[in-house]
Amino acid sequence: MSDPKWRGMTWNFHPIGKRGELYPRWLRDLIGEHGIYIIKEGSTIVYIGESHAGRLYGTITRHFQRWTRSKDHFRGQYVETDNDPGLTYDRAACRVAYYVTKTGERAIEMQDRAIAHFEPRDNVQGKLPF
């Protein structure tokens, strides 16, 4: 399957390595950037997200680290949904595509449009709660 095209863009998906390995240079280069990212597991787009606060690296890598809502920091902050903020993926099974934006507002806009277009498996935005 070719990489998905959207709005005249081709999304190039990159491996992120195995658990315990240093994240690749392309990913570390995203420190301080705004942007949008797409996580693909096999041939399935599973999640689309964004960073509008210049934390694209951290926002992407959190999906490949263990954490859950049960940590004391999160206690009482979230309502129960199918999209637990601790949702993580196996690094070795996934690839990530990204696009750096000039502004955080642009990242939010692009994320919303990409979610509507690709309908990723694990995003809950725009889905009914039942």
Instruction: Give the residue extent of every domain in the chain.
Output: 12-118
When pLDDT is cut at 50, 70 and 90, the band that residue 130 belongs to is: very low
Please tell me the predicted confidence (pLDDT) of residue 10.
85
Digit-coded pLDDT (tens) for 10-33: 889 999 999 999 999 999 999 999
When pLDDT is cut at 50, 70 and 90, the band that residue 53 belongs to is: very high
Mean per-residue pLDDT for 40-51? 95
Which residue intervals of 1-130 are DSSP H helices?
A: 25-28, 56-61, 104-118
**24 vs 94: CA distance, rounded Å:** 13
Answer CATH for 12-118 from 3.40.1440.10, 3.40.30.10, 3.40.605.10, 3.40.50.150: 3.40.1440.10
Higher pLDDT, 4 or 97: 97
Which structure tokens are listed for 103? 């502004």
When pLDDT is cut at 50, 70 and 90, the band that residue 52 belongs to is: very high
Mean per-residue pLDDT of the chain: 83
Of 4-8, 21-25, 37-41, 52-56, minimum mean pLDDT range: 4-8
Q: Report strand pairing: 9-10 vs 5-6.
A: antiparallel
Please tell me the predicted confidence (pLDDT) of residue 1.
36
Higher pLDDT, 126 or 64: 64
